[in-house]
Amino acid sequence: MQSSFQFLRACAIGLIAAASTIQVAAAQQPTNSPSATLPGPGLFTYRPMFRFDKFSDAPGGADGKAERFRFMNHVMYGVAPEWGLFADLSFVDRDVETPGGDDDESGLGDTRLGVSHRFYRNDFGPIETFRAAANFSLRMPTGDEEFTNDTVNPSFGISTTTILGRHGIGSSARYEITTGATDSPVDAGDGLADHLMLAGSHLYRIRPESYAEGGNVAVYSQVELLGHFETNGDASLDAALGVLVEAPRWAAECSVILPVAQDLDERPESELGLALGVRFLF
């Protein structure tokens, strides 16, 4: 995996250097679940993220263990005040150890293309707001052989964002209809079973206590609960703890994902996840 890590590290340095003069908006979006925020018309956000996952089983039900490193890219473009188009693409490096030997695989994952519509917005204070958005997306079979479902999978979702003083509260749900499966499912939705994702989040502004104090950088703690349920009976619940640093037009984030409960037969159990990312607005 060393060469892949060096490649991904080089990508990260290049992205940060190229975007060092670009200003960013994050709008209190949690790291691991969607929110009801959109870029303004004619603007687009770019969100590169590095995600590491460690599994206590090998994909495909074999004895062993696995580690995975992903360079994830999310882009959203504001086409109207309440409408946005988005795309997700990732580069994957996976190392699997089994009694029969080690297997290191790298390649592109499937692309997700979608549209998001914020259908409700109520700004009831200087910073207080409630927003709700619906989205539709398609998982496209663009990935390499080891990382693709090899079919087009549609999904439907809804998300809400509430900001009350120093508190940001989010909720989301997404249902994906799977019509194909990867050779060795790792995540919910990789196998031939529909996937329901439910998530809730709470962000607390540590500093400043009040925006009236001045300054343009805010620091938030964040807690997320991430539930995944599949029609084949697999189910898991994770907790994510993290920090979000947000300025008026830039943001950086870090999150540690820990398993709370797992009842899995078709995909490996998770031991640990780590997400590091930044967000840019063009």
- pLDDT at position 193 is 96
Helix and strand tally (H, E) in the chain? 1, 13
Whether residue 192 contacts residue 176, with contact meaning beta carbons closer than 8 Å, is answered with no
- Taking the CA of residue 201 as centre, how many other CA atoms within 13 Å lie in the half-sphere pointing to its CB? 33
Q: Which of 192, 114, 121, 196 is nearest to 162 (CA)?
A: 121
Q: What is the pLDDT of residue 212?
A: 67
Domains held by the chain: number: 1
What is the three-class DSSP state of 129? Answer: strand
| Ramachandran angles phi, psi of 223, nearest 5° | -130, 130
Task: Provide the 8-state DSSP code for 31.
Answer: S
- For the chain of 282 residues, list the mean pLDDT of each consecutive stretch of 10: 48 41 56 95 95 92 89 97 97 91 92 98 92 98 92 97 96 96 91 97 92 78 98 97 90 97 95 96 86
In contact, 192 and 178? CB cutoff 8 Å: yes
pLDDT at residue 63, as a whole number: 83
**Cα–Cα distance between 209 and 127 in angstroms, integer?**
13
Question: What element of type H or E holds 181?
Answer: none
CATH number at 154 reads: 2.40.160.40
The token pair at 180 is 């194909």
Residue 209 confidence (pLDDT): 82
Predicted local distance difference test score (pLDDT) of residue 215: 67
CB 174 within 8 A of CB 196: yes
Distance (Å, rounded) from C-alpha 222 to C-alpha 168?
9
How high is the pLDDT of residue 213?
63
Task: Residue 24: name the closest of 211, 216, 248, 244 by CA.
Answer: 248
pLDDT of residue 191: 92
205 CB-near residues (< 8 Å, 6+ apart):
166, 167, 168, 218, 219, 220
Q: Residue 98 is part of which domain span?
A: 2-281
pLDDT given at position 260: 98
Q: How is residue 137 annotated by DSSP?
A: E
- CB neighbours (10 Å) of residue 73? 17
Written as six digits, the tokens of 92 are 């994957």
